Structure 1
């Protein structure tokens, strides 16, 4: 917890445009619908080292993503990238355009996958604005939701994934003064026995691996083995930044700040050193200045944990076709997330055996912080259904879906 004086000094320094969410500002943002945007450009090649670095950054121990000798005996013949590994190149839905001086939070991603990322592949992407919507919020009164569509391809222009990402934009002052999270403890205190129990659950995590999970053997109501992430620490958050290759400093950072002055500030805690307004993921003072109880995780980090939940369950011979996760509540340092799921539907579409899952992350207070859904292609015992290596020949746009599965945007 930071002192009130420290927080006030940060509040005074953070860039903020009063009344930044005006009809005129929203109209300018809406005028960008359909516009191609410049993407981020961090890790551009899926080397073995980069793929390993990514799964280290999300705490995924599945040998299919990290052990070349193990993967040599799989149907792929080598390791493959974790489904969320394209985050190394770009975070779809990250706040980075329009509404200057208005704070933003990553709010969710809806991935549809077509191919696995392979060692040696390039990671290319292109992005456009899908939609801009105004809503009312308990957190900050008026908010704006910005929707983006990102297409990831490899060096052969083959489609890897299509993802719809969205973020929410809030006035910092309104968020701080309304105090929606004022009653949430800044740090959860665990007993030694609780920490030991969490550690044992973390160490028990395992992937299904080479034992196929067949479509015919999977039933509605089946539960996924939970994946536990926490208690969240600065080490965990820093590891994700390293895993996604996100860094810039000194002159590189200064030039970026001069191009986008409303996204950076001189932090008095750093003696006036330049920091990005999203440094609230690392500093309590900045998080508190925007109405969050304390420093917190990155949205794509939590989405990746949910990806691990599903890939651990489905086994090496399956293919994750869709992963949709909404980040609804903050996950602050000291919080623990139990990633859980259950089977909610199964059907065959265009010869592909599909299983729908309801997934969610639940913290130590029993609050659901990240609800979501997933669709998995499972191998079938039925010889009339073709075997597959990936999902390139299938689109879910026109596929039947379980009642709890939302449509893929845009409808």
Structure 2
């Protein structure tokens, strides 16, 4: 079989010189691409919410939202992924070395309200050298991103990290374990459709802290089966990292030559196309095109906000992305209450959350903390 352009491409390895140069930037501010969103408008909130499959009227319906505790439309906390490229996986340094988004630790202090203008301020926080069975030498690259609204109020802090992997090593090692995308039968699709039709969010019915029991399981939420269409839908709300067209695309490749990976036609395209191009995904060691990591973390955020109801507030969501979610995968999102406490007057619950594919593999694992209303007031 004739080798494709992507399979013949040779990519840079991680060198000590490049790593030392990147380490010198820790704690410093830096230039980065403009955000996809800078203001929480009704349109941008809607695009985000529907991009993760969340049609909660608290985000979408002004009349409904007006009659809630919040007095108007608010947005899912993970919407902040659209306000900054860094928290979404944009990484500097190590040109030509693949970046795989691996997780975010979100801490929200205030809700995102309709009309908020939000500024993100990221800094490189840490570099951790690793030895990966997937790609040999690798690096965990962590950023701290602080988000402020138009009044200068800190509404959120997030630590977000990527694993930098060596593409050629990953491709060579990946041939040992082939995973084929799942093909679903009409009956299985009907069963998935039935789940979606029967699913109910908590909504306006309060979930009181006193009624929650440690060990209680959250209702199951399905996401998928994943398709290129669903990836594109997420990208419409999130904005992507490197998707540009025509002149702006070529300008980006001139400034950052390692981003321009020739396709089969010899035309440069960004490495982000692993999310819709299975050939390039295989060239970096993944069985097929795969989803965006922030998407799965946002699904677990959706799981939590549906469970806590309109009167709850999601304080923290710390999720690690463990495996790739490839085309055809169905993710079952679930959680279990692991603790409850009163702290600084807030009635808090802690939940272990996870996303599991149809092969029984946990692709995302984390912890969530939320404030619930109390019967004591």
TM range (shorter): over 0.9
Q: Equivalent of 2:16, from 12, 23, 38?
A: 23
* SS of 2:317 mapped into structure 1: strand
Q: Equivalent of 1:251, from 241, 247, 251?
A: 247
* SS of 2:8 mapped into structure 1: helix
Distance in 1, matches of 2:96 and 2:207, equals 49
Distance in 2, matches of 1:285 and 1:153, equals 40
Equivalent positions of 1:11-410 (< 5 A) are 11-13=7-9, 16-17=11-12, 20-40=13-33, 41-91=35-85, 92=87, 94-179=89-174, 182-185=177-180, 187-246=181-240, 247-268=243-264, 271-383=265-377
Q: Is the 8 A contact 2:98 2:167 kept in 1?
A: yes
Distance in 1, matches of 2:230 and 2:346, equals 37
Q: Is the 8 A contact 2:144 2:159 kept in 1?
A: yes
* SS of 2:112 mapped into structure 1: coil
* SS of 2:225 mapped into structure 1: coil
Change (3 A) 1:242 1:89: same
* Runs of 4+, deviation exceeding 6 Å: none
TM-score (norm 2): 0.95
Change (3 A) 1:203 1:180: farther
C-alpha deviation, 1:181, in angstroms: 6.9
* SS of 2:113 mapped into structure 1: coil
**Residues 140-189 of structure 1: per-residue CA shift (max 9 Å, x gap):** 1111000000111111111121100000011111001111772322x102
Q: Please state if 1:5 is matched with 2:18.
A: no
Q: Is the 8 A contact 2:81 2:88 kept in 1?
A: no
Distance in 2, matches of 1:265 and 1:24, equals 23
Query: What 5-or-longer segments of structure 2 have no aligned partner?
Result: none
Q: Is the 8 A contact 2:140 2:162 kept in 1?
A: yes
Distance in 1, matches of 2:280 and 2:139, equals 21
Distance in 2, matches of 1:64 and 1:52, equals 11
* SS of 1:359 mapped into structure 2: strand
Query: What 5-or-longer segments of structure 1 have no aligned partner?
Result: 384-411
C-alpha deviation, 1:30, in angstroms: 1.6
Distance in 2, matches of 1:143 and 1:235, equals 31
Number of equivalenced pairs: 373
